[in-house]
Structure 1
Amino acid sequence: MTVQDIRAFNRFYTNVIGALDHRRHLHAPYTLTEARVLYELAHSPRTDAADLRGELSLDSGYLSRILTRFEQDGLVERAPSAQDPRRRRITLTAQGRETAALLAERSDQAVGSLLSAVPAADRARLAEAMRTIREILSAGRPPRGEDIVLREPVAGDLGWIVQRNAALYAAEFGWNTDYEGLVARIVADFAEDHDPHLERVWIAELDGRPVGCVMCVRDEAPATARLRLLLVEPDARGLGAGDRLIGAVVDFARGVGYRDLVLWTNDVLAAARRLYQRHGFVLTAEKPHRSFGKHLTGQDWRLNLTDAQQ
């Protein structure tokens, strides 16, 4: 392979992406860079301006102009960070979340249209080729936390949540198929009836494959959200995926106006419990029970979202 081979591929691929954007006006009235900033704000809990600048390798002045435009358009709000008043915390407004969702939907439709012209037998080969490019150009380095992307689910992801929860909890804790049934009901309820403005699912992706998930759904109690089905694959642990997934739920729940965020877990899930405590959750109740073929101690945890942001 030569330098010219890579440059030729770059020209080809940017032409493909550019043609999609031109035909469908995917990001109108925003540029591709502005759309990418919106994407990061919608999918990453790291919402300080400095984090955005580092993540996207943007000039500080350029990013400031983008955020000023977003603020004028009613898409974001800026305020001093609770951790460091010298930093600026950026959060999407309800209109900003709607705009980000619209741009994501347009992008999905455009890529779906592109893939519709690819024979089904070639799609797996195409996906593998893309993974190969990423792996080779990563120079064989081990995965890093910044390699993990949080995204919304696509077709097949909800089924993956059920399958991986069942398989991992069986392998690590010996839980039986009762747990798989519970997860399947939770996921089915979400798929059949949820409010996209108040309920969400996040998938943590690494090298093009899902490695984690979490859900935020409405609870029966007023102004209360419930965190459900947090999971991180064993080979992705230690990279901060669980911390980012919980942070995404907390930021989302607070942003849409919930006053409390609750969750139910079991005492054997020690690693998850430490993450909940790190985000400010407080244990409110414990009760022994027998479920999933095991004697367990169930735990209720609560986070007051109206407290000063942590």
Structure 2
Amino acid sequence: MSPHSKAEQETRIDTIRRFNRFYTRKIGVLEQHLLESPFTLTEARVLFELAHRGGALAKEIGAELGLDPGYLSRIVQDFTEQGLITRKLVPSDRRQFELALTAKGKQAFSRLERASRQEVGNMIEALPGDGGQRLVAAMTTIERLLGDADERPEVTLRTHRPGDMGWIVQQHGLLYAREYNWDISFEGLCAEIVAQFLKDFDPARERCWIAEIDGRQVGSVFLVKHSDDVAKIRLLLTDPAGRGLGIGKRLVDECIAFARSCGYRKITLWTQSILLAARGIYQSAGFVHVATEPHRSFGHDLIGETWELAL
């Protein structure tokens, strides 16, 4: 790891730890009781699990919340003494207990649930403008990134709308500078391509697609008219937040399907030999590498490649 990347990693660690401290204060985790109730956060989570499961084995609750068996046992004992839960031995395994909320326990949870929803609602209402929407989007992203890797997020494709073009130019400039050390002239080229697309846009024969996850742009591509018979793919991009989900392939497949529906006979594109992921997508879609051109661009000596697909 280079000194620069190590410094970036340390900054990220500090930022995440600072956020954790902020959020635990915000939701009252450091307070003795949650939402002025008689319950700690952990006790409230146990009530939540029992309320939404309709009952469960003690070991299931412990596994779900990652609780020490001894700590959970004390909570179960306290809840039993308070009349909040019932505890029954499982006939097939008399070492296990099945837990369920009593009527008193359900009332206690309902009060806690109402207080929680009210507090969150008040917090959202106090945010200016679209703050609530932005907050939910940010939390959804955190949950997706830190959640179960097997749960693939839903990716949607749509056509462009106001604001997308600025994002496309900005992300191309940022990512290619970060990942390939290309200079700002590449961002300038992207801006020219975008401006030309908007100026000459023919909706009958041209398209821009934006890929989104949870309302956030994570990918883009253009299909533009190169001639009456030939279409051209431009500015294919997958943001790091969307990589590994097949977004690039979906965007290229969308271009191919649209080009066929428009009556184009061929699709062409220009890429660089170092863009291995993009080249792999084109090759798997049936594109053929037809020409190579060394050139000096974006602050580097590059090898440009032309690829074509007969429709």
TM-score range, shorter chain: 0.5 to 0.7
1:66-215 pair list within 5 angstroms: 121-129=128-136, 132=139, 140-142=147-149, 147-215=154-222
Does residue 264 in structure 1 map to residue 270 in structure 2? yes
Compute the displacement of 1:174 (Å).
Answer: 0.8
User: Quick check: 1:166–1:180 contact (8 Å CA) kept in 2?
Assistant: yes
Compute the displacement of 1:140 (Å).
Answer: 3.6
Kindly provide the CA deviation profile for residues 164-217 of structure 1, in whole angstroms up to 9, marking residues without a partner as x: 000000111111111011000000111122101110101110122111100000
User: Quick check: 2:140–2:214 contact (8 Å CA) kept in 1?
Assistant: no
- Determine helix, strand or coil for the equivalent of 2:161: coil
Does residue 232 in structure 1 map to residue 238 in structure 2? yes
Compute the displacement of 1:238 (Å).
Answer: 0.9
Higher relative contact order structure (alpha carbons within 8 Å, sequence separation ≥ 6): 1
What fraction of aligned residue pairs are identical, expressed as a percent?
43
Q: Structure 1: which 5+ residue stretches go unaligned? A: 3-117, 306-310
Runs of 4+ in 1 over 3 A off after TM superposition: 118-121, 129-146
- Determine helix, strand or coil for the equivalent of 2:217: strand
- 1:275–1:119 Cα change, 3 Å: same
Whole-Å separation in 1 of the counterparts to 2:126 and 2:202: 35
* Alignment RMSD: 2.8
Whole-Å separation in 2 of the counterparts to 1:137 and 1:237: 13
- 1:214–1:277 Cα change, 3 Å: same
Does residue 245 in structure 1 map to residue 257 in structure 2? no
Whole-Å separation in 1 of the counterparts to 2:137 and 2:186: 35
User: Quick check: 1:203–1:211 contact (8 Å CA) kept in 2?
Assistant: yes
| TM superposition score normalised by structure 2 | 0.56
- Determine helix, strand or coil for the equivalent of 1:214: strand
User: Quick check: 1:225–1:261 contact (8 Å CA) kept in 2?
Assistant: yes
User: Quick check: 1:145–1:240 contact (8 Å CA) kept in 2?
Assistant: no
Compute the displacement of 1:145 (Å).
Answer: 5.2
User: Quick check: 2:253–2:285 contact (8 Å CA) kept in 1?
Assistant: yes
Q: Structure 2: which 5+ residue stretches go unaligned? A: 1-43, 49-124
- 1:120–1:200 Cα change, 3 Å: farther
- Determine helix, strand or coil for the equivalent of 2:182: coil
Does residue 299 in structure 1 map to residue 287 in structure 2? no
AA aligned opposite 2:175: L
AA aligned opposite 1:215: F
Compute the displacement of 1:123 (Å).
Answer: 1.5
Whole-Å separation in 2 of the counterparts to 1:137 and 1:145: 8
Compute the displacement of 1:255 (Å).
Answer: 1.1
* Counterpart position of 2:223: 216
Whole-Å separation in 2 of the counterparts to 1:215 and 1:145: 25
Whole-Å separation in 2 of the counterparts to 1:301 and 1:272: 11
Compute the displacement of 1:137 (Å).
Answer: 10
Count of residues in Structure 1 that have an aligned counterpart in Structure 2: 191
AA aligned opposite 2:235: L
Larger Rg belongs to: 2
1:16-35 pair list within 5 angstroms: none
AA aligned opposite 1:184: A
User: Quick check: 1:266–1:297 contact (8 Å CA) kept in 2?
Assistant: yes
- Determine helix, strand or coil for the equivalent of 2:293: strand
- 1:137–1:189 Cα change, 3 Å: closer
| TM superposition score normalised by structure 1 | 0.56
- 1:137–1:175 Cα change, 3 Å: closer
